[in-house]
């Protein structure tokens, strides 16, 4: 039996928007974004396999197999979605949009895997091996410019999650995928560059986990926004700005006059 990805509808009305979290996170990573976004769209979120409430897939854990599950969910709904993907979630969104542009009304990528210079190897391999709160704090604080955002409670939650059955091996498989993502997603990125899907990229200027590759972004011919004093979690460190950019993107790309701009 294969594991499905459950789309959780958070509420709101208007165009459909799906939040797709990053490696090692879950849908709670969007808590500082969802209340504002709810005012302008019909908002959905999900936990990817081996993250949050979801068990690992019964098949090989790859970006492609995760995208397969999301494609099935969107097909079942028979509606198009604007995809907002962070890091790993960005790579999944790119894969999905390249394969099934008919399901995608727009693409907003936040520090997406596959469009950076190269994801930090030590971070990727270190995450599945975390065993204690101290090492988890040290690793996770590399994601941000303000270490206080990563609390001991959050580190404890990460350790508890990694200790669930099958999660460490699934995360290791995903880490191995992400080590090669700049190569493995080349075809999908080229396909996306030729498409007419509206797209936006948001990146932290101080991202050391997945540094910006401006040459790749130039080839993608996309709207690009960088945030100063921000690392790999722009939607958390710069949530107010990111919320505003996402709502403006919905308004312009979907031509929906009912989308209300957030206060910047």
Distance CA 204, CA 208 (A): 9
**Angle, CA 253 vertex, CA 109 and CA 108 arms, to 5°:** 5
Strand duo 199-204 + 16-20: pairing: unpaired
The DSSP symbol for 196 reads -
Instruction: Report pLDDT for 255.
Output: 66
Q: Which of 188, 204, 210 has its CA nearest to residue 97? A: 188
User: Helices 88-99 and 186-194, interaxial angle, to 10°?
Assistant: 60
CATH of domain 7-117+184-253: 3.40.50.1820
Is 180 within 8 Å of 119 (Cβ atoms)? no
**Backbone phi, then psi, for 55, in 5-degree steps?**
-75, 165
Q: Domain ranges in the chain?
A: 7-117+184-253
Is 167 within 8 Å of 56 (Cβ atoms)? yes
Distance CA 29, CA 46 (A): 11
Contacts of 62 (CB under 8 A, 6+ apart): 173, 174, 177
Q: Is the dihedral of CA 77, 83, 85, 90 positive or negative?
A: positive
Contacts of 100 (CB under 8 A, 6+ apart): 71, 74
Look at the block and give the residue holding tokens 């098949």: 59
Strand duo 42-46 + 7-11: pairing: antiparallel
Instruction: Report pLDDT for 166.
Output: 95
Name residues of the chain where pLDDT drops below 70: 1-3, 255-264
Look at the block and give the residue holding tokens 């509808």: 9
pLDDT tens digits for range 113-139: 999 999 999 999 999 999 999 999 999
């Amino acid at each position: 039996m294969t594991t499905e990805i459950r789309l959780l509808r958070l509420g709101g009305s208007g165009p459909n928007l799906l939040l797709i979290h990053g490696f090692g996170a879950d849908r709670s990573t969007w808590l500082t974004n969802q209340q504002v976004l709810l005012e302008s769209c019909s908002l959905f979120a999900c936990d990817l396999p081996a993250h949050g409430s979801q068990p690992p897939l019964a098949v090989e854990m790859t970006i492609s197999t995760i995208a397969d599950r999301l494609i099935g969910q969107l097909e079942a709904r028979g509606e198009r979605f604007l995809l907002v993907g962070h890091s790993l979630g960005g790579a999944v969104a790119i894969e999905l949009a390249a394969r099934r542009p008919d399901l995608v009304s727009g693409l907003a990528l936040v520090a997406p895997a596959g469009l950076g210079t190269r994801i930090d190897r030590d971070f990727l391999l270190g995450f599945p091996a975390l065993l204690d709160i101290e090492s988890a704090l040290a690793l996770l604080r590399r994601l941000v410019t303000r270490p206080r955002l990563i609390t001991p409670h959050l580190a404890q939650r990460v350790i508890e999650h990694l200790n669930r059955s099958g999660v460490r091996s699934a995360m290791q498989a995903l880490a191995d995928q992400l080590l090669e993502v700049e190569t493995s997603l080349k075809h999908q990125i080229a396909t996306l560059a030729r498409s007419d899907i509206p797209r936006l990229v948001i990146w932290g200027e101080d991202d050391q986990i997945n540094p910006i590759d401006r040459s790749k972004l130039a080839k993608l011919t996309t709207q690009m926004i960088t945030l100063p004093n921000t690392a790999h979690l722009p939607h958390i460190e710069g949530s107010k700005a990111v919320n505003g950019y996402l709502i403006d993107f919905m308004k312009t790309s979907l031509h929906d006059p009912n989308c209300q701009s957030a206060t910047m």
